[in-house]
Amino acid sequence: MRIAVQTAPFDLGDEAARFASAQSHSGAVVTFTGVVRDVSGGLQAMEIEHYPGMTERALTDIAQQAMDRWSLEDALVIHRHGTLTVGEQIMMVATAARHRKDAFEAAEFLMDYLKSRAPFWKREVTGDGEAWVAARDEDEDALKRW
Amino acid sequence: MRIAVQTAPFDLGDEAARFASAQSHSGAVVTFTGVVRDVSGGLQAMEIEHYPGMTERALTDIAQQAMDRWSLEDALVIHRHGTLTVGEQIMMVATAARHRKDAFEAAEFLMDYLKSRAPFWKREVTGDGEAWVAARDEDEDALKRW
Amino acid sequence: MDVLYFAWVRERIGIPKERVDSSAATVMDLVNELRAREDRYAAAFEDVSALRVAIDQELADFDAPLDGVREVAFFPPMTGG
Amino acid sequence: MDVLYFAWVRERIGIPKERVDSSAATVMDLVNELRAREDRYAAAFEDVSALRVAIDQELADFDAPLDGVREVAFFPPMTGG
C-alpha cells in the first residue's frame, strides 16, 4: 500500500506499470486517473489546497479500509496539490486483486471516499477570476452505497 | 475507439499513458488489466485460443455498446492470444469520460461482456498436463446487471 | 457451408474446420447430422447445453435457421478477459 | 489550541492558522466565541452547515468536546479527486 501527496507531476504510465508488475498473486489491476478538464471554457489553472498531515492520515485510513473490506493484494493513492493546468493528471488510485469485482469495487470506494473525505479543496482560475469548486451532492450521496 | 487482438505483449504503462493523453474533454480515465496468475501452483503457461474474424467483430460490438450507453469520450480494448506465462498481461480495457461513474461502469460492462461474449478460450498448461479453463457461472450472472 | 470448431470441441473432433454439405434447416438439425457421422462427433456434441454456436460470426441459438449461412462455429462457453 | 482555516474559510478570516486560548467546551462553543470577535469571523462562520470541522486531524461533529484537543480545523466540504 502506498500513499503519496505531492506537488510534482506523476507519470500514469510508469505508475500503472510499476504497480501492476509488483503484484504476484493478482489477476486484476484497476486504475483510475483524474485529469484537469476545462468544462465551461477559459480555465487557466486549477489550484489544489490541502491540509498537510491530515491529508496523509485520511488517505492512509481510506486505503486501509479498502484493504480490509475487499480481498486486495495492494492499493496505491497519489494525489497532487498546488497549481495544475488543463490536461494535467491530478490524482490516481490503483487496486490489485485476484478477482476483477474486488479490484473494481475497491477502486470506486477509494474514489468516492477520497472525493468527499480527504482534505483537498479545488479552486478554478479563469480570465474572470478565481472560484472555489463547490462540493457536489452526488459525491456525498455516492458514499451511501458503501 | 481502438480494438486490438494480438499475440504480441503490450505495455500497460505506455497504453494507459497514450490513451489518457489522447483525451481532451475527459476528467476520468479507468483502466482494467488482466494478468496471468498461478492460482493453484505449477502453472507453466496459459494458452489462449480465439476465433479470428469473429473476435474483432465481437469486441468492436461490445465497445460500441459501451460508447452508446455511457457518456464516453473513448474506449480501448486490447486482448492477446497465443501462449503466455505467469505474470504476463493478457488484456486491458480503458475508458475515458467526464465523470468517474461513467468511466467505471463502462469499464465493468466491457469486462463482463468480454469475459463471456468474446470468443476466447483459455487453456492452462501445468506439469500434470493441460486443461481448458471452465466458464464460471458468476461470469455469466454478471451480465444480468446490465 | 464451413463448419468451425474451437477449444475442446476442436480437440474432440480432431480438426479445426471442414466443409459440410448439408440441407439441415436449423443448427440442431446440423448437430444431429454430425452426431450420426462418427463417435468423435457424437462425443463432441454429446451435451449441447455445454456448447455455444455462432452463425456467420455472430452468437446464435441452436434452433436458428441455416438458410443462406456461410459459416457455423461450435465451441464451449467463452473464457476471455 | 491551534485553530486552522482552509479554502474560503481561510480567505474570509484572512489567516491560515492562529493560537486560540479558549475554555470552549465544544466545537460549537468555540465557533460562537470566534463569531463574537470580528465581522470576518462572523462572515466565515455564518452558516456552519456549509462547514466541516476536524479535531486533531480527524473529521468531527460541531458538538464534539474540545477537552485535551491540540488542533481544530475549519473548512468547506472537501473537493478532492
Say which CATH superfamily domain A2-143 falls into. Answer: Molybdopterin biosynthesis MoaE subunit (3.90.1170.40)
Average pLDDT for B13-33: 94
Whether C44 is in a domain gets the answer yes
Q: Is residue D80 part of a domain?
A: no
Mean pLDDT value across chain A: 95
Range of lowest pLDDT (A18-22, A75-79, B104-108, D2-6): A18-22
Whole-number average pLDDT of chain C: 97
Q: Does residue C80 form part of some domain? A: no
Task: Look up the ipTM and state it.
Answer: 0.94
* Interface C:D, ≥3 CB–CB pairs < 8 Å: no
Question: In this structure, are residues D54 and A119 in contact, taking their beta carbons and an 8 Å threshold?
Answer: yes
Interface of C with B in 41-80 (CB under 8 A): 54, 57-59, 73, 75-80
CATH of the domain at D14: 3.10.20.30
Question: How is chain A split into domains, by residue range?
Answer: 2-143
**For A29, which of B25, B35, B103 is closest by C-beta distance?**
B35
Q: pLDDT-based confidence at C61, cuts 50/70/90?
A: very high
Count of structural domains within chain C: 1
Q: So what's the pLDDT on residue D10? A: 98
Lowest mean pLDDT among A49-53, A135-139, C76-80: A135-139
Stretches in chain D below the pLDDT threshold 50: none
CA neighbor of B73 nearest in space, from B24, B35, B32: B24
Q: Say yes or no for a CB contact (<8 Å) between A32 and B111.
A: no
CB B110 within 8 A of CB A100: no
Q: Tell me which residue range forms the domain holding D24.
A: 2-75
CB contact under 8 A, B100 and A111: yes
The pairing of beta strand D52-55 with beta strand D71-75:
antiparallel
In angstroms, the separation between the Cα of residue A61 and the nearest Cα of chain D is 10
User: Closest Cα of chain C to B111: distance in Å?
Assistant: 7
| Within-domain flag for D44 | yes
Which residue from D8, D75, D81 is facing A119, i.e. has the nearest CB? Answer: D75
C12 CA: distance to closest CA in chain B (Å): 13
Flag whether D81 is in a domain.
Answer: no
> What cell was used for A21?
508488475
pLDDT, position B145: 93
| Three-class SS of C1-35 | CEEEECHHHHHHHCCCEEECCCCCCEHHHHHHHHH
> Is the pLDDT reported for residue B25 higher than 90?
no
* Residue C36 in domain: yes
Interface check A51 vs B, CB under 8 A: no
pLDDT at A40: 80
**Cα distance between residue C51 and residue A37, in whole Å:** 47
- Mean pLDDT of the region A91-96: 98
pLDDT at B130 over 90: yes
pLDDT digits (tens, 9 = 90+) for B68-92: 999 999 999 999 999 999 999 999 9
Whether B32 contacts B107, CB under 8 Å? yes
| Most confident stretch, A80-89, B19-28, B134-143 | A80-89
- Least CB-CB distance to C78: which of B90, B111, B121? B121
